[in-house]
Amino acid sequence: MKRFLAVTAVLLVALSAAAFQRASGRLLTGKVLDRQDSVLPNSVVYLSDSRTRAVKTYIVGPDGTYRFPALSQAVDYEVYAQYNGKKSDTKMVSQFDNRQQININLKIDTR
């Protein structure tokens, strides 16, 4: 009986952790850089939900980093950055990518 209770407790903890991880979503981070890998502060990063076409924006700080937390794992996203009228390539975050934390650096040709 004690063994059954111990196994049940372990399973409940594991299932709770998995459910929390799914509920909290995944995290997209990265940096906005020029072609020489220098950071581009005050760039604007755009994240577009492929289903609803809703767009979130993030203005990067002096270190050039951006962060989009709590993203749905059931949606594809497109991400790109702009700096002084110049735009990076658009990158995809696929719903089939099962990583909880995804890092994408966005490069802009500032010339």
Whether the pLDDT of residue 65 is over 50: the answer is: yes
Q: Where are the domains of the chain?
A: 25-108
Classify 19 as helix, strand or coil. Answer: helix
Question: Is-contact 110 86, C-beta < 8 A?
Answer: yes
Farthest CA pair distance, the chain: 71
Whether the pLDDT of residue 51 is over 60: the answer is: yes
Percent of the chain with pLDDT over 70: 79
Is the domain spanning 25-108 CATH 2.40.30.170? The answer is no
C-alpha dist (Å) from residue 101 to 10, 31, 69, 83: 25, 14, 9, 25
Is this structure's pTM higher than 0.85? no
